[in-house]
Amino acid sequence: MSHISGVQSAQSPLALRASGSRALLIAAVLLAVSLVLPWWHMTMYAPQYPAGLSASAGVFSIHGDVTEINELNHYIGFMPLEHVAPIERRAGIVLGPLIVLLALAAAFLGGPWRLLATPAVVLPVFTVADLAGWLWYAGNHLDPHAALSTSVAPWTPHMLGPGGVGQFHTFAMFDPGFALAVAAAVLVVSALRRRHRPAVGQR
């Protein structure tokens, strides 16, 4: 019976029933959705910008008022936003979907293959660390030749909540994409913690 159901499982993924594997499947779907959503944003307000300027970052892209923010940033020698995390964003084009596929494989293959979902846990953790690193790097490596370089001391922009520079007040927050990725990571961790569960279809 178990042999037969194992064959059914291999031939028909829709037969997937094990709760741990279901959690991995859901995690894969959440992660897939998160790839097309913003993960983090910062909004800047100043008297001249009553509606604010906002830039948001996803796994492989930066959106929003990038041109205008770069325009302003160049006065203090802050690097153009496109120059932030270029390798990570380019790699994300491949690695993002790959991590989703690995989570899917983990869901359908079960057993020790479930470990293939591990990168889905690493991704949000790495993102936070990488973002923190870039915020520190960009804020502390202002172009010393910029026009207003002497007016602004190096600083680390806040990753969360209120901050400010010059006449700008800023507010940073994680976005739905990040929330989905965290949810996916939690699901993966919980699935991996279920010991002795049979692989899909092996009950």
Binding positions for another protein, rule: CB under 8 A: 65, 67-68, 71, 75, 147-148
Min dist. Cβ of residue 67 to another protein (A): 5
Name residue, tokens 């964003």.
Answer: 89
Nearer to another protein, 71 or 130 (CB): 71
CB 85 within 8 A of CB 151: no
Min dist. Cβ of residue 167 to another protein (A): 10
Nearest one of 141, 106, 120, 135 to 59, comparing CA atoms: 120
Nearest one of 92, 43, 49, 88 to 63, comparing CA atoms: 43
Q: Is the dihedral of CA 81, 131, 33, 105 positive or negative?
A: positive
199 vs 1, 119, 141, CA distance in Å?
14, 20, 51
Nearer to another protein, 19 or 67 (CB): 67
AA identity, residue 19? S
Nearer to another protein, 25 or 55 (CB): 55
Min dist. Cβ of residue 153 to another protein (A): 18
Nearer to another protein, 65 or 188 (CB): 65
Nearer to another protein, 44 or 59 (CB): 44
CB 160 within 8 A of CB 26: no
H or E segment and range at residue 51: strand 49-57
Min dist. Cβ of residue 68 to another protein (A): 5
Min dist. Cβ of residue 49 to another protein (A): 9
Helical pair 118-140 and 19-34, crossing angle rounded to 10 deg: 30
Min dist. Cβ of residue 139 to another protein (A): 21
CB 114 within 8 A of CB 104: no
